Amino acid sequence: MKRAPLDRLETACDAVVAAAVTEAGEHGWTDAVLDHAIAAAGIDAPLAARAFPRGARSLVEEFHRWCDRRMVEDLARHDLPELRVGQRVALAVRLRIEAMADANGSRRAAARAVAFHALPVNFGSGARSLGRTTDAIWRAVGDQSLDFSWYTKRASLGAIYAATVLVWLSDENDGSTETWAFLGRRLKDIATFGKTKARAQAAVESLATNSFSVARAVIRGAGAVATQGPGAFPMRWTAWRGIRSGWLRSSDR
């Protein structure tokens, strides 16, 4: 099968998802809903097979990608340089969650998608979708980290995002005020934790460095004693951090 160009494939996916959202809210994310949406979008069979190779599971994953793209587009309309990082993240999370509502503002399709990924058989698909979403949010707000914080930021935000979605699905207040208040508290907690963690990590690293220096000195001292005096036998260095391996074998074997 000839591979469709990425832009054409993405356009086809977006058209099918847009056609499926309302019906998915009524009947769930099923293969039947996918078939109806493909027909409504006018997508040919080979392209549909390329876009949704795993049927309904692919449709739900494309729904989340569709919401990710809508979030990025909506976020680009805001003056991000004027906002602090925490404010950017809060705005991006809010826009991403709101993107899951259909044209009528219904959250049923989003609730059905959450329920779909809650099934054990779909856990891997849900984890991948959550990972893509948190990565899309961090990239959209300008994160360029390449160190270990790349992982910690996405793990922390993933937990906050997932919890906020659950609050949003049950929030009946005008403007979802309870949801955004919850989000604000969680982001504030993670910011406070981040500062505490940084201080703790610095202390641990300092302790580890000092401990290693002491241990190295002890090992060197023990090695010097072992090679001196009656009964001492030759020791062999492993060439890795100066740890002797003579207790395993002598140099004449």
pLDDT in tens, 85-98: 999 999 999 999 99
The sign of the dihedral angle between the CA atoms of 98, 99, 104, 108 is: negative
**pLDDT, tens only, 42-77:** 999 999 999 999 999 999 999 999 999 999 999 999
Q: What is the pLDDT of residue 206?
A: 53
Rounded to an integer, the average pLDDT of 203-230 is 48
151 pLDDT exceeds 80?
Answer: yes
Spell out where the chain has E strands.
none
pLDDT range class, residue 165, cuts 50, 70, 90: very high
221 pLDDT exceeds 90?
Answer: no
Is residue 85 a contact partner of residue 149, using CB atoms and an 8 Å limit?
Answer: no
The sign of the dihedral angle between the CA atoms of 51, 55, 59, 60 is: negative
Rounded CA gap, 55 and 29, in Å?
Answer: 10
Give the percent of the chain with pLDDT over 70: 73
pLDDT range class, residue 231, cuts 50, 70, 90: very low
Is residue 75 a contact partner of residue 140, using CB atoms and an 8 Å limit?
Answer: yes
Rounded CA gap, 171 and 70, in Å?
Answer: 22
- Look at the block and give the residue holding tokens 């910690």: 152
Rounded to an integer, the average pLDDT of 19-34 is 96
Is residue 37 a contact partner of residue 19, using CB atoms and an 8 Å limit?
Answer: yes
142 pLDDT exceeds 90?
Answer: yes
Considering the chain, what is the average pLDDT of its residues? 82
pLDDT range class, residue 210, cuts 50, 70, 90: low
pTM: 0.74
194 pLDDT exceeds 80?
Answer: no
Of 83-92, 139-148, 197-206, the one with minimum mean pLDDT is: 197-206
Is residue 23 a contact partner of residue 36, using CB atoms and an 8 Å limit?
Answer: yes
| CB crowding 35-65: b at 16 or more within 10 Å, else e | ebbbeebebeeebbebbbeeebbbbbbbbbb
Rounded CA gap, 127 and 64, in Å?
Answer: 12
Question: Tokens in use for 161?
Answer: 């995002």
Is 5 in a helix, a strand, or coil?
Answer: coil
Q: What is the pLDDT of residue 234?
A: 40
pLDDT range class, residue 196, cuts 50, 70, 90: very low
Rounded CA gap, 219 and 222, in Å?
Answer: 5
| CB crowding 106-143: b at 16 or more within 10 Å, else e | ebbbbbbbbebbeeeebeebbeebbeebbbbbbebbeb
Higher pLDDT, 226 or 237: 226
Q: What is the pLDDT of residue 104?
A: 85
Q: What is the pLDDT of residue 224?
A: 43
Rounded CA gap, 55 and 168, in Å?
Answer: 28
Q: What is the pLDDT of residue 156?
A: 94
Q: What is the pLDDT of residue 98?
A: 97
